Structure 1
């Protein structure tokens, strides 16, 4: 019996992604081509590897065992790439990086530039993706590296993944300059409107935590996820907001003032990748190294102190 190991990898991808159509992007094939590869594998082994039903496909017992073999083959191929990279000093291959907008601008873009200069055979692909969907794409193989943001202990690392710290990003409370006052405590903001993030966002969780700590209920006047839009709403006088310092690294926009409120905590940016028995592939490893270097370069630009608050009178 001759079994083409490439078809075992196709079966492994179907098992990992949970279906033929879902496996196609991971394999860079069409769903039809995936189905053809599975059909050919079944002819080679003489047994069905998929149980095809109107609602989808599931693996048969033979399919599960062969998929496990395909996973081991994938791990061995990763190790082979590492050996070749060590012998030749050349790192190559595609790497898909998923991140949210501030991380793309501050970390991913500098990392991709560094990779182009130092490892031109790497083929980075950047996708804007975050939250549960991004984690699913990471664990099922479509994404290789995921930039995640979370508060300490808030989001557990999914099984089968590893995480590398990139940057500590403290929170700031910003207010409109048209309010003509500098809040000295959260009590001064208890009756004011807020621009809040969606319930799943790190800044929304941070505001809820701060509200509990300081005994007030924020008036959620507007809900917005992207920080340029949040800052635009603040500048328009529509409310206060919690934003990470990274969103202010380019300076405070006109119409926005940073308060002197302290003890806000922060979010932590990390690079996540799937855990392999023999370690990450060389392409993923150098990509994460480039992201770590970008994080070190950005850290001095992230204001660690409090930006100058709004002044009702000019400084002397």
Structure 2
């Protein structure tokens, strides 16, 4: 009996994702190609692996046993790749990173530039995905490094299968239209104004809910927006006030919105999240480790630009190496 390990990977994805279509999407194959690979694997082992008697695809007992071995094969291959990196001075391979737009723009792009210079054989692969779908992809192994955001008023993400590392604490600021002759000066005044609110599942939406609860108010959410660009555009046009993290202000031209003096709104935390190593050595993947280091350095290098944006002074030359800049952190 000869078993092709590539077909084992297909069976593994079908078992983990609960269907052919989802496995095909994860493997970048067509559903027809996945079905063909499964049929060939069944011929190789001489047993039915997929129960096709029901509308939804499920594994037979033999299929579940073989999928368990497929997991072990994948773990052994991961360990082998990790061990082989000790025999070369140059780290190599793809690292799949999931993040959201401001992190991609202000952190991952400069981090990729440094990675290309220091480790040209490492290939970052970026996906714009966040929230629960991103966590699911990380657990399934389709993503290697995830950058998350969460209101600091909530407990930190803590799951036994994941490792969370604080990347940055990004303070919230209240932005108001520059055309308003009487901008709000207190939180109570804020709560009486129209809001361009964030999605309740995202950090800025969580911050508004927390703030309203503390003051016993119900904010008038005229608009609910998930991205900072449209949020800031609506504020600039006079449609309401908004809570945004300081890093989002790097994307708006000077003077387009007014940054309120109201503080103590809180902050969001940005974290890098990876899966806990399941290998015998227990050591983190060395390629992922250098990618996370580059992300942390790019985040720290944002501090001068952020301070300049909030103080009105020119930012430091972005070509200056990170170790020559002032220490600090940036967000996404």
CA RMSD of aligned residues (A): 2.4
Give 1:243 shift.
Answer: 0.2
The one-character-per-residue Cα deviations of 1:217-266 (angstroms, maximum 9, x if unpaired) are 21111121211211111111111110001111366642411112222111
Cα drift, residue 45 of structure 1 = 2.0
Residues 1:130 and 2:130 are matched in the alignment: yes
- For 1:9 and 1:268, the matched residues in 2 are separated by 36
User: Counterpart of 2:121?
Assistant: 121
Q: CA deviation at 1:268?
A: 0.8
Residue in 2 aligned with 1:282?
286
**TM-score calculated relative to the size of structure 2:** 0.84
Is 1:295–2:299 an aligned residue pair?
A: yes
Is 1:208 paired with 2:209? yes
Per-residue CA distance 1:98-141 (angstroms, 9 max, x = gap): 21111111111112112211222222222222222222222223
**Residue 14 of structure 2: aligned partner:** 14
Query: C-alpha distance in 2, partners of 1:94/1:291?
Result: 15
Deviates more, 1:247-256 or 1:57-66: 247-256
Q: Secondary structure at the match of 2:16?
A: helix
| Structure 2: unaligned runs, 5 residues or longer | 313-332
Alpha-carbon separation, structure 1, partners of 2:176 and 2:168 = 25
For the Cα contact (< 8 Å) 1:81–1:281, is it kept in 2?
A: no
Distance 1:306 1:27 in 2: 44
The change in CA–CA distance for 1:53 and 1:118 in structure 2 (over 3 A counts) is farther
**1:157 deviation in Å?**
4.1
Match of 1:198 in 2: 199
CA 1:290–1:52: 2 relative to 1, 3 Å: farther
Whole-Å separation in 2 of the counterparts to 1:6 and 1:172: 50
Does structure 2 conserve the Cα–Cα contact (< 8 Å) formed by 1:172 and 1:242? Answer: yes
Measure, in 2, the Cα distance between the counterparts of 1:69 and 1:213: 52
CA contact (8 A) 2:151 2:204 kept: no
Deviation at residue 54 of structure 1 after TM alignment: 4.8
* CA distance in 2 between partners of 1:164 and 1:187 (Å): 35
Distance in 1 between residues matched to 2:19 and 2:286, nearest whole Å: 28
Between the aligned partners of 1:68 and 1:282, the Cα distance in structure 2 is 26
- What is the deviation of 1:187? 1.4
- 1:162 aligned onto 2:155: no
Aligned pair count? 308
Deviation at 1:202, TM superposition (A): 1.2
Question: Which deviates the most, 42-51 or 149-158?
Answer: 149-158
Contact 1:258 1:307 in 2 (8 A): no
Conserved? CA contact 1:259–1:306, under 8 Å: no
Q: Which residue of 1 aligns with 2:249?
A: 248
Show CA shifts across 1:283-307 (max 9, x none): 3332222212222222454449976
More displaced 10-residue stretch of structure 1: 162-171 or 253-262: 253-262
Match of 2:43 in 1: 43
Query: Aligned residue for 2:317?
Result: none
Cα contact 1:12–1:67 (8 A) shared by 2: yes
Q: Using a 3 Å threshold, how does the CA distance of structure 1 residues 147 and 59 change in structure 2: closer, same or farther?
A: same
